[in-house]
């Protein structure tokens, strides 16, 4: 059952075609000039809003590049998936987010990109 919504950025995946296995309900392309890697290259982000099951979240993890993440949410929780670790915490209690934020910062992700927005 697809009980989670999520955001996946194609540029953060080793194989962006894995998105085709998910149920996409919205797609967005950013303006040009966004950092797309750690070598200083600029481009656009292709952001996909998906609905998925927990098993699909787990299956996505091997494709996530170091220094990127995908995140998923339901009414009560958020799951953040990095290349090497997953965090699950309470959606409406930011005090429970700290470990996931620190892990992202340790991977070089700017803190302002670690807000894990939900709709």
Q: Contact 43/36 with Cβ under 8 angstroms?
A: yes
Coil, strand or helix at 114: coil
Distance CA 115, CA 94 (A): 10
- What average pLDDT score do residues 85-96 get? 96
Answer yes or no: is pLDDT of 1 > 80: no
Predicted pLDDT at 117? 93
Average pLDDT, stretch 23-46? 91
Confidence of residue 42 (pLDDT cuts 50, 70, 90): very high
- DSSP, residue by residue, 23-87: EEEEEEEPPS-EE-STTS-EE--EEEEEEE-HHHHHHHGGGBPTT--EEEE-SSEEEEE-SS-EE
- What's the rounded mean pLDDT across residues 47-71? 97
The pTM of the whole model exceeds 0.85:
yes
pLDDT at 119: 79
Averaged confidence pLDDT in the chain: 95
The answer to whether the Cα torsion of 91, 82, 103, 35 is positive or negative is negative
């Amino acid at each position: 059952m697809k009980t989670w919504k999520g955001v996946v950025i194609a540029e953060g995946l080793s194989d962006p075609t894995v998105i085709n296995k998910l149920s996409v309900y919205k797609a967005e392309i950013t303006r040009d000039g966004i950092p797309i890697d750690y070598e200083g290259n600029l481009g656009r982000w292709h952001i996909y809003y998906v609905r998925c099951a927990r098993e699909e979240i787990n299956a996505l993890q091997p494709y996530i590049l170091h220094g990127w993440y995908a995140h998923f949410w339901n009414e009560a929780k958020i799951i953040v998936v990095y290349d090497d670790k997953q965090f699950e915490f309470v959606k409406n209690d930011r005090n429970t987010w700290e470990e996931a934020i620190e892990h992202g910062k340790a991977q070089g992700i700017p803190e302002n990109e670690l807000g894990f927005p939900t709709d």
